[in-house]
Amino acid sequence: MVSDYLQTVDWSRAQFALTAVYHWLFVPLTLGLSVLVAIMESCWVRTGDEFWRRTARFWMRLFGVNFAIGVATGLILEFEFGTNWSNYSYFVGDIFGAPLAIEGIMAFFLETTFIAVMFFGWDKVSRRVHLTATWLTAVGASLSAWWILVANAWMQYPVGCTFNLGSVRNEMTSFWEVAFSPVAVNKFFHTVASSFMLAALFVVGVSAWYLLRRREERMARQSIGVASVFGFVFALVTAFTGDRSGALVARVQPMKLAALEALYNGQAGAPLTVVGVLRPAGSRTADDPFYFGLGVPKLLSVMSFRDAQAYVPGIGDLLAGNPKQGILSAAEKMARGRVAVAELARYRAASEAGDRRTMAAVGRKFDPATSEGEEFLSEYFAYLGYGYLDTPAQLVPNVPLLFYSFRVMVGAGVLFIVVLGVVWWLNRRNRLASKRWLLRTCVWMIPLAYLASQAGWVVTEAGRQPWAIQNLMPVGVAASKIPGASVSVTFFLFLALFTALFVAEVSILLRQIKIGPDAAGNSKPQKL
Amino acid sequence: MDTFIFMQVFSLGHGPEGGGSSEAFAFLQHYWWFLISLLGALLVFLLFVQGGQALLYSIGRTDEERSLAVNALGRKWKLTFTTLVVFGGAFFASFPLFYSTSFGGAFYVWMAVLFCFVVQAVAYEYRRKPANVLGAKTFDAFLLVNGILGPFLLGTALSTLFTGAPFTVDRLNLADPGTNGSTVISQWTTPWYGLDALAVVWNPVLGVAVVLLAMTLGCQYLMNSVGDEPVFCRARRRMLFCGCGFVPFFVAWLVHLLFATGYTENPAGLITAEPYKYLHNFSQMPFLAVGLAVGVGLVLWSVYAGWRGSRKAIWYGGAGTVLAVLALLLCAGWNHTAYYPSLADMQSSLTIRNSSSSLFTLRVMAYVSLLVPFVLAYIWYAWRAVSRRPLTRGELHGDGHQY
């Protein structure tokens, strides 16, 4: 029977996933649209053409509808680290809390302060001051993303810290390693570039709808002109950073890579499966996991290690170990983790008994300044999280979820590059309006962009299971000790609330688009 | 603080301790408690947005009047919201043990806070938008719920920093490999998970006081920011009523606090009960007593000035609120006081010494905190730029952004 605590863990995971998915429905559009609005407003300030003011204000109105709900869900995510993941919050709060605080002080205030000038300052401040406020809003949004993604990257690749036995937690030793780890830097550029691309697809899609309806044609064409080139450039950046992401994952989260490729048996010169259909869990074997799969030979080795002959470990290698490749088995890692946990228990017992000699002896093992400590920390403590696991099977994330999500993300990403490139080209030659099939395609790119964006986060977050902090803390010991039933109630309350607000948000957005740029959004307000 | 400690505070050395002394560490713990207290004080002031929402139907008799009030308040809601987010983030970063203990234990209270702030965020933007599905009245109801429940819950939570909560803390629970939750460091000892705060009468008393203070400030803000005579007159009358209501609740809570027993931490880290702890704190840190007295005096003066028709009452009330709350929060954490007393196990009580982040992290964030004056400066600029002229009915019919 599953203990109440494990139910709490599962419900907490579900609640956090729900909030994160919902949050990410709004944030990418906020990130990208803020920049696009700033570009359009810059055109107004530079040319003095009222058309650009009108266009910028229209997109700004859609931005406003979207922004509020993103802010609200961001608050929930921040607080849920404490309410649902209190053990995690203490164990790494010394490192993880700092980016969140810095985000608030450095970025969030910037964004929310100047957004007020952006919305209400049209007739109250000069053009240049207003434009500055609009750009600062965009900068604040991206800066905010930077710190949040630094925090997220640290969970996947914990660096710049050491364990302090006295406080029984991880503590920061290098701010720069945390803030500028390769995973953090790449994650930022990949996430923000993909958000810019999503916003560009949104603008292109909405503008395409106007062209299909033969409404607001100048605004639609000019908006497409700005958004398609913007989106095309950032789609390429997304692809480039995505490729780099794969190489980083191969080094720091090999199980995630093996799972998203459904690679059960490691091999040198591993192929990349472009498309494939997995067999169900019961009939899926390591030697034959697919009903069918179409792969490109050696491509996975090239993408992972930049070497066509490189060995890519599979799920089997990571569980059973592969001495030839220097891969420890999961059982060995679990045994080492248990040694680390047992040392903590020994320290606890000595502490309660007032046995200072034993406390000092254990203390030396956790002291990185001594050779004994250096060895213990790298050979045993590095696997602490494994010590809390019951079976090696817990180390394998959901393979089908990752496999298909990854392909949706990458496949859609390739399609976006093509569509944005073609739209840019045709719009420049003034031939876009006659390609109605392409305009319809552009409209359908909007939901696809959201799907791809969500799929990317599924790969990132579901792929690192069972870890709350890679190798150090599994989710099973990261949660708060609260009743599972309580978390299930809040889960359903959030689900109901989010659903209602999402329906309202989409309905308002669609109506605002239908109204168009001329009528102010509140010109026919709903009666009270 | 002498020059030597100052140099240590801002010198990033190698390793987690950064080469700093215990004096530098203690200084940074006090410094960060000051910043948290300042953020908390600013948050209580900015709850005027919630106070104004709570009186929406009382001050605005017609749709147009309510829209005037909502649009005036709506220009500031993000500031309150952001301050709440930053307050949470800064608390997490500087005192993570409080974050894990209070948030992970008083689960129901913090969840209720989340719900009532989420509905606020969307209510402003959606209430008058066509096709908003739920209807304008629903979104106005959201504003009302947030306006009353938000300050009440935050006030109640604030009071627990003095009255305590039922929890235990054992960092070495991580040494237990069980999967039944025994690894959890901070554990609540009652099945009420935060609702138990309501059973200590002084917590809801402060909650009510904060609601009434927020309403008072909300009226003063509307008097300042809405250029409309009927709204001004109604806000003035409600302000007097709420201000007079605030006084007995706050005074009762304050008197109780001054006679209450608090927990104190000795240099060895042992925590003991000390009768009249908070009274002692005010006498041993007289600048806090002065700050509290001046703060309360300014709040009372603002009510008087508002009643006399001054549009500047919000600035007296705001300054007074910030001063008073800052003094109270500093009294809760400085002078070796347990700022989160445990009712289940005295030694589990949280002090700024036993619950802070490491010296290294506090020092890194101290550098970041140097941005705070700059942040305050641009907030002030933006505030003035947007609210230089009171909002009029005419603006509601313009083509600008409306709530």
The string of pLDDT tens digits covering residues A376-397 is 999 999 999 999 999 999 999 9
Query: DSSP 3-state assignment of A210?
Result: helix
Quote the pLDDT of residue B16.
41
Among A54-58, A140-144, B398-402, name the one with the lowest average pLDDT.
B398-402
Q: Judging by beta carbons within 10 Å of its beta carbon (0-12, 13-18, 19+), is residue A360 exposed, middle or buried?
A: exposed
Contacts of A100 in chain B (CB under 8 A): 89, 92-93
B68 has pLDDT over 70: yes
Residue A496 lies in a domain: yes
Q: Are A504 and B132 in contact (CB under 8 A)?
A: yes
pLDDT at residue B19, as a whole number: 52
Predicted pLDDT at B9: 63
> pLDDT digit string (tens) for B100-150?
999 999 999 999 999 999 999 899 989 889 999 999 899 999 999 999 999
Residue B12 pLDDT level (bands cut at 50, 70, 90): low
Q: Cis before residue B286, ω within 30 degrees of 0? A: no
* DSSP state at residue B342: B
Assess contact for B88 and A79: CB atoms under 8 A. Answer: yes
Question: Is A433 contained in some domain?
Answer: no
Neighbours of A404 (CB within 10 A): 18
Share of chain A above pLDDT 70, in %: 98
Nearest to B386 among A68, A104, A116 (CB): A116
A279 CB-contact burial (10 Å; exposed 0-12 / middle 13-18 / buried 19+): middle
- A465 occurs within a structural domain: no
Is A266's pLDDT higher than 70? Answer: yes
Radius of gyration of chain B (CA): 22
Please determine, for residue B180, whether its predicted confidence score (pLDDT) is greater than 80. no
Instruction: Tell me the sheet residues that pair with B263.
Output: B273
Judged by a CB distance cut-off of 8 A, whether residue A2 touches chain B is no
Mean pLDDT score of chain A, rounded to an integer? 94
**A336, A379 Cβ separation under 8 angstroms:** yes
Predicted confidence at residue B324, as pLDDT, reads 98
Please choose, from the candidates B299, B243, B253, the residue with its C-alpha nearest in 3D space to the C-alpha of residue B278: B253
pLDDT band for position A527 (50/70/90)? very low
Show the tokens assigned to B363.
């020092």
**CB B275 within 8 Å of CB B261:** yes
- pLDDT, greater one: B178 or B17: B178
Say if the Cβ atoms of B135 and A526 lie within 8 Å: yes
Q: Is A73 on the interface with B (CB under 8 A)?
A: yes
* Residue B352, φ and ψ in degrees, nearest 5: -65, -20
Residue B6 banded pLDDT, cuts 50, 70, 90: low
Domain count, chain A: 1
Question: Is the model's pLDDT at B36 over the cut of 50?
Answer: yes
Rounded Cα distance between A434 and A429, Å, is 11
A410 by DSSP, 3-state: which? helix
Nearest Cα neighbor of A137 from A148, A149, A147, A129 is A129
Percent of chain B with pLDDT over 70: 94
Taking an 8 Å cut-off on Cβ atoms, the answer to whether B125 and A68 are in contact is yes
Q: Convert the pLDDT of each residue in A285-321 to its tens digit.
A: 888 899 999 999 999 999 999 999 999 999 999 999 9
Q: Hey, CA dihedral for B168, B174, B180, B181, is it positive or negative?
A: positive
Could you give the residue ranges of the DSSP H alpha helices within A180-263?
182-212, 217-252, 254-260
Give the residue carrying structure tokens 């983030």: B89
CB-nearest to B132 from A71, A125, A504 is A504
Task: Search chain A and give the residue with CA nearest B397.
Answer: A523
Percent of chain A with pLDDT over 90: 89
Q: What is the 8-class DSSP label of residue A484? A: H
How far is B300 from B312, CA to CA, in rounded Å?
Answer: 14
Tokens of A492: 């359903």
Give me the numbers of helices (H) and strands (E) for chain B, helices first please: 18, 6
The pLDDT value given to residue B150? 97
Which among A294, A248, A525, A275 is positioned nearest to A407, based on CA atoms?
A: A275
Are A98 and B96 in contact by the 8 Å Cβ rule? The answer is no
CA dist A111 and A121 (Å) reads: 15
Residue A136: closest CA among chain B residues belongs to which residue? B378
Q: Check CB contact under 8 Å for B97 and A93.
A: yes
pLDDT digits (tens, 9 = 90+) for A404-459: 999 999 999 999 999 999 999 999 999 999 999 999 999 999 999 999 999 999 99
Strands, E assignment, A72-175: 161-164, 169-172
Pairing of strands A267-268, A169-172: unpaired
* Chain A residues 392-411 with a CB less than 8 Å from chain B: none
User: How many DSSP H helices and E strands does chain A contain?
Assistant: 17, 8
Count Cα atoms within 13 angstroms, Cβ side, for B144. Answer: 13
Residue B18 has pLDDT above 50, yes or no: no
Nearest Cα residue in chain B from A133 = B382
The Cα A242–Cα A236 span in angstroms is 10
What is the arithmetic mean of pLDDT over A153-160? 96
Of B94, B125, B379, the CB nearest to A109: B379
**Residue B182 has what pLDDT?**
85
Mean pLDDT of all residues in chain B? 92
Average pLDDT of span A318-340: 96
Residue of chain B whose Cα is closest to the Cα of A109:
B82
Q: Which residues of A touch B82 (CB under 8 A)?
A: 104, 108-109, 112-113
Which burial class, exposed, middle or buried, applies to A262 when counting CB atoms under 10 A from its CB (0-12, 13-18, 19+)? buried
Shortest distance between the Cα of A101 and any Cα of chain B, in A, equals 4
Give residues 136 to 165 of A whose Cβ lies within 8 Å of B.
162, 164
Q: Which residue range forms the structural domain that includes residue A492?
A: 18-180+476-506
Q: Are A105 and B372 in contact (CB under 8 A)?
A: yes
Q: Is A519 on the interface with B (CB under 8 A)?
A: no
Q: Using pLDDT thresholds of 50, 70 and 90, give the confidence band for residue A106.
A: confident
Of A89, A113, A348, the CB nearest to B382: A113
Cα separation, A381 vs A336, in Å, equals 8
Interface of A with B in 329-348 (CB under 8 A): 338, 341, 344-345, 347-348
Within 8 A of B179 by CB-CB distance, chain A residues are: 3, 5-6, 388, 390, 476-477
Q: Both tokens of residue B282?
A: 């005010």
Cα–Cα distance measured from residue A27 to residue A145, given in angstroms and rounded to the nearest whole number: 9
